[in-house]
Amino acid sequence: MALYDGFYALRESPFSLSPDPRFVFLSRQHREALAGLLYAICDAKGFALLSGEVGTGKTTLVHTLLTHLGDRVCSAVAFNPGMSRRGLYQHLLAEFRLPPESSVLDAMRALHMFLLAQLAAGRRVVVVIDEAHALSRELLEEIRLLTNFETSRAKLLQVLLVGQPELVEQLQRSEMRQLRQRVALRFQLKAFDFAETIRYVRSRLARAGRTDELFTPRAYAALYRFSGGLPRVINVLCDNALLTGFARDQPEIDHGLIQRAAQDLCLSPQRRLGLWQRVRIRHYMEHNGHPLESLREISLPPLEFSR
């Protein structure tokens, strides 16, 4: 717990940087990406791609995806882009709780047997490759070969590539056309707009136990200006502002606290708000009152795996 939790009537810290699925906020683009990734896995599409700038919520969305899939899916997450070919297979064996093998060929055989066993048990197997934009061309090629594990009707292994926009640029190169052609679905996450920024903050506060308003309208405006709508930066700014507010015995978060937090973090304005936008801010705040109204249930397709 943070120092300020009790002071602001919070059960727990609302702006932790850990990708906790309980605090997930699904904007329209996040909801569409999550539903699409579920479809890609349930329908055994093989390859899917999730891209976005740093701090747009890619990791949180992946954790939410795996949580929603539950025990009907065996998953492995690889987040070391500098691993070797042998290191990749050894990592996958370890993630699936299989004993290590002495060679890549033996590791591939063990993985193939594991995939067939999971198919017989009615479970999907998913490999998430995080930081995929930093992978070498050789390792990307090896990952492409993973989808050669298949039956006559479906891919035995589903691969989700997660990375920054550079990953999309890398796949556009001519030497990457074989991998590019195997990517069945692509999704891109962008920064929140102003209304989504407000709903994001309110939803996290409500999840942490604060159901009445804590931030002033001008605080939201400053938060959007300095964060640019990036969830990770919003979290850092809010956490710092709450800590400073607690130290100053200030019961609400105003624009001065947000500006102080931005100054401490050496953040410059990312968005410019004119007079008309500031008028719309107050109008939005007055007509979108209760924070719990922004917590819509996640409506996703049922988990029916094609065979």
Domain 28-189 has CATH 3.40.50.300: yes
Q: DSSP letters along 264-292, please?
A: HTTPPP-----HHHHHHHHHHHHHS--GG
What's at 298, amino acid-wise?
Answer: I
Give the per-residue pLDDT at 222: 92
CB 285 within 8 A of CB 220: yes
Integer CA distances (angstroms), 110 to 74, 92, 160, in order: 15, 10, 21
Q: What does the block give as tokens for 223?
A: 């938060």
Encode pLDDT of 159-186 as tens digits.
999 999 999 999 999 989 999 999 999 9
Q: pLDDT at position 239, please?
A: 95
Give the model's pLDDT for residue 192: 93
**Rounded percentage of the chain residues whose pLDDT exceeds 90:** 58
Determine the Cα angle at 285 with ends 222 and 236, to 5°. Answer: 35
Sheet holding 47-52, edge to edge: 73-78, 124-129, 158-163, 47-52, 183-189
d(CA 59, CA 74): 18
**pLDDT for 282:** 61
Closest listed residue to residue 78, CA positions, set 160, 168, 187, 170: 160
218 pLDDT more than 50: yes
Can you name the CATH fold of 192-294?
A: Helicase, Ruva Protein; domain 3 (1.10.8)
Q: How far apart are CA 24 and CA 3, in angstroms?
A: 23
What stretches of 12-165 show up as alpha helix (H) in DSSP?
28-42, 58-69, 85-95, 104-120, 137-146
Say if residue 287 is exposed, middle or buried (CB neighbours under 10 Å; 0-12, 13-18, 19+): exposed
Place of tokens 């004993």: 99
pLDDT digits (tens, 9 = 90+) for 156-166: 999 999 999 99
- What digits encode the pLDDT tens for the residues 264-299? 999 888 766 554 555 555 665 566 654 444 444 445
Mean pLDDT of the chain: 87
The proportion of the chain whose per-residue pLDDT surpasses 70, expressed as a percent, equals: 88
pLDDT at 153 over 50: yes
pLDDT, mean of residues 48-53 = 94
Question: Which token pair is 41?
Answer: 């896995």
Sorted by where each begins, the domain ranges of the chain are 28-189, 192-294
pTM higher than the cut 0.85: no
Residue 72's closest CA among 266, 303, 258, 281? 303
Report d(CA 223, CA 200) in Å as an integer: 12
Whether 302 has a pLDDT exceeding 60, the answer reads no
